[in-house]
Amino acid sequence: MASTFSGISTALSGLYAARRGLDVAGQNIANANTEGYSRQRLSLQSVGGSTVPAMYAIDPGIGNGVAVRGVDRLRSSFLEARARVEHTQNAYLTALREAYVRIEDVFAEPSDTSLQALLADFWAGWDDVANHPGDLAARSQLVQRGSVVADGLRAAYEGLNSQWRTLRTQTEAYVRDVNESAAAVAQLNQTIKRAEAAGMVVNELADERDMHLIKLAQLIGATAVWRDDGTVDVLVDGSTLVSGGSARQLEVVGAEQISDATSNPVVLRWADTKTPVTPGGALGAMSELLGEILPGFAAALDEVAATLADTVNAQHMVGYDVDGGTGRPFFTGNTASTIAVAVTEREVAVASAPGTVDGSNAAKLAELGKLTDGADALYRKLVVDLGVAALATNRRAEIQAQVTANVDAARLAEAGVNLDEEMINLLASQRAYEAAARVLTTVDSMLDTLINRTGLVGR
């Protein structure tokens, strides 16, 4: 049979549960604006009566109060896994989109100072010389326009090279971040494992670890696998980055200049085995930009410079200058970084025969700008390819940003703190505490009557 004092135990368990409910609601409210915090809920369980039959013992069947089973962390593992996937793709496309914007700034098409406009002025300069072959001022202007074209090619190449070096440095910084976050996850794994073994609540530690997992997904496309002991394994390109309490390191090796990117490509690899890694996320975009995209545009720019130099030099070398000289190239160098004008105004070969002042050779040179396989056509193709790639990446990035935002909104709805809801929980716990205290007072009053007043009748 239930003890006369069981009511005190029942009321006291209610007091404990209500007090824990107040603590949990207060913790949620305090962390309403804490990044990565997951709201918590008190898990309660009714304490039933004895289920073991015994002679001369009768269970009244009303239970023995409430027990706190634990403090649950309200976060969906499915939404977290989905968020890591979407953040990986979003970081990849965002990095590509930002890079394409900077590449477009290098070429600055269309504008009055762009390379296409400089080429048009250059060919117009040959027309001017063809119309006034004996005018040294027209020749001088042509030489200056040629120098401006060469400067434009060198400036564009240096702009690409500068971006390449910046991305190379940024890649090293990202790899350091990956190594630091991996070490942090390994340390948290150890702490969480020990705490759970001791029966402690690890919700805040798990929140911190999840933030590192999201960061690793954004940086390198990492995936996570949970173990039964509460730890998390982190995988990159199918290989283990974090296993329990240990973490591996990554490193970057390869070219330091864009000119060496093809012969000595930049490679992300494991520091211990030297095995290459194919990353995702922001580092995946960096890998493409350093290995393919920027070197590809640099090579296309070199082709423009080489075609310009070859076609102009071939026609210029068959003409004659003011002093009857011939066979002299107009440009030196056949790459975007080395091209330069090699003649003075008197050495411009505008005539088709020595000792004449005709501009027939200059007229032929002016027509080179119309070639379907000439430098202008190649440059226009480069610009179109850049525009198409940038537009496609921008559209994909916008769509992915919306998808990621929707997933984050679902995560926030699941794990974020709602202050209105917490105020309701706070008031509910307060009322439960007051009611349990009232039950305790009532039972105490009953026991006082039983103990101190029984047998006083008739005295």
pLDDT, tens digit, for every residue of 83-120? 999 999 999 999 999 999 999 999 988 888 889 999 99
**pLDDT of 340 higher than 80:** yes
In 154-262, the DSSP E strands lie at 223-226, 232-236, 239-243, 246-247, 250-253
Question: Which pLDDT score, from 0 to 100, does residue 53 have?
Answer: 60
Confidence of residue 47 (pLDDT cuts 50, 70, 90): confident
Question: Cα angle vertex 375, ends 334, 356, to 5°?
Answer: 85
Q: Please list, in sequence order, all residues whose beta carbon lies within 8 angstroms of the beta carbon of residue 400, skipping any fewer than 6 positions away.
A: 86, 89, 90, 93
Percent share of the chain, pLDDT over 70: 95
- The torsion of the CA quartet 359, 365, 371, 376, rounded to 10 degrees, works out to -130
Q: Residue 231 carries which side chain, given as an amino acid letter?
A: T
**pLDDT of 308 higher than 70:** yes
Residue whose entry in the numeric block shows the structure tokens 């393919």: 292
Confidence of residue 4 (pLDDT cuts 50, 70, 90): low
Q: Which of 207-221, 298-312, 354-368 has the lowest mean pLDDT?
A: 354-368
**pLDDT of 458 higher than 60:** no
Confidence of residue 278 (pLDDT cuts 50, 70, 90): very high
Question: Which pLDDT score, from 0 to 100, does residue 134 have?
Answer: 84
Confidence of residue 323 (pLDDT cuts 50, 70, 90): confident
Which two three-digit tokens encode residue 324? 């009857």
Residue whose entry in the numeric block shows the structure tokens 């093809």: 262
Alpha carbon 293 to its chain centroid, in Å, reads: 18
Q: Which of 48-57, 61-70, 243-252, 422-431 has the lowest mean pLDDT?
A: 48-57
**pLDDT of 354 higher than 90:** no
CA–CA separation, 232 and 415 (whole Å): 20
pLDDT tens-digit profile of 113-163? Answer: 889 999 999 999 999 999 988 888 999 999 999 999 999 999 999 999 999
**Torsions phi, psi of 358, nearest 5?**
-90, 160
C-beta atoms surrounding 253 within 10 Å: 12
Question: Which pLDDT score, from 0 to 100, does residue 2 have?
Answer: 53
Q: Give the burial string for 398-407 (b: 16+ CB within 10 Å, else e).
A: eebbeebeeb
Question: Which pLDDT score, from 0 to 100, does residue 107 have?
Answer: 93
Rounded average pLDDT over 70-85: 91
What sign does the CA torsion over 424, 429, 431, 432 have? Answer: positive
Confidence of residue 440 (pLDDT cuts 50, 70, 90): confident
Question: Which pLDDT score, from 0 to 100, does residue 358 have?
Answer: 85
**pLDDT of 178 higher than 50:** yes
Confidence of residue 200 (pLDDT cuts 50, 70, 90): confident
Sheet (strand 239-243) strand order: 223-226, 232-236, 239-243, 246-247
**pLDDT of 5 higher than 80:** no
Question: Which pLDDT score, from 0 to 100, does residue 453 have?
Answer: 74
Question: Which pLDDT score, from 0 to 100, does residue 209 have?
Answer: 95
CA–CA separation, 368 and 316 (whole Å): 11
Confidence of residue 76 (pLDDT cuts 50, 70, 90): confident
In 267-412, the DSSP E strands lie at 267-270, 331-332, 340-341
Alpha carbon 383 to its chain centroid, in Å, reads: 27
Q: Please list, in sequence order, all residues whose beta carbon lies within 8 angstroms of the beta carbon of residue 229, skipping any fewer than 6 positions away.
A: 193, 196
Helix, strand, coil percentages for the chain (3-state, nearest 5): 60, 10, 30
**pLDDT of 16 higher than 80:** yes
Q: Residue 230 carries which side chain, given as an amino acid letter?
A: G
**pLDDT of 197 higher than 90:** no
Rounded average pLDDT over 329-333: 94
Confidence of residue 227 (pLDDT cuts 50, 70, 90): very high
Rounded average pLDDT over 291-305: 95
Q: Please list, in sequence order, all residues whose beta carbon lies within 8 angstroms of the beta carbon of residue 220, skipping any fewer than 6 positions away.
A: 174, 178, 236, 250, 277, 279, 280, 281, 282, 283, 284
Question: Which pLDDT score, from 0 to 100, does residue 311 have?
Answer: 96
8 Å CB contact between 449 and 442: no
Pairing state between β 331-332 and 239-243: unpaired
The chain-wide mean pLDDT, for the chain, equals 91
C-beta atoms surrounding 248 within 10 Å: 19
**pLDDT of 206 higher than 70:** yes
Question: Which pLDDT score, from 0 to 100, does residue 208 have?
Answer: 94
> Bigger pLDDT: 354 or 313?
313
CA–CA separation, 39 and 168 (whole Å): 40
**pLDDT of 6 higher than 80:** no
Rounded average pLDDT over 289-316: 95
Q: Which of 231, 265, 222 is nearest to 92 (CA)?
A: 222
CA–CA separation, 37 and 412 (whole Å): 10
Helix (H) or strand (E) holding 67: strand 66-73
8 Å CB contact between 390 and 104: yes
In the chain, count of helices (H) and strands (E)?
A: 10, 10
Which two three-digit tokens encode residue 143? 């030489």
Alpha carbon 120 to its chain centroid, in Å, reads: 40
**pLDDT of 1 higher than 50:** no
Greatest mean pLDDT range, 57-71, 323-337, 348-362: 323-337
How many residues are recorded in the chain? 459
- Say what angle helices 115-131 and 375-415 make with each other, to 10 degrees: 170
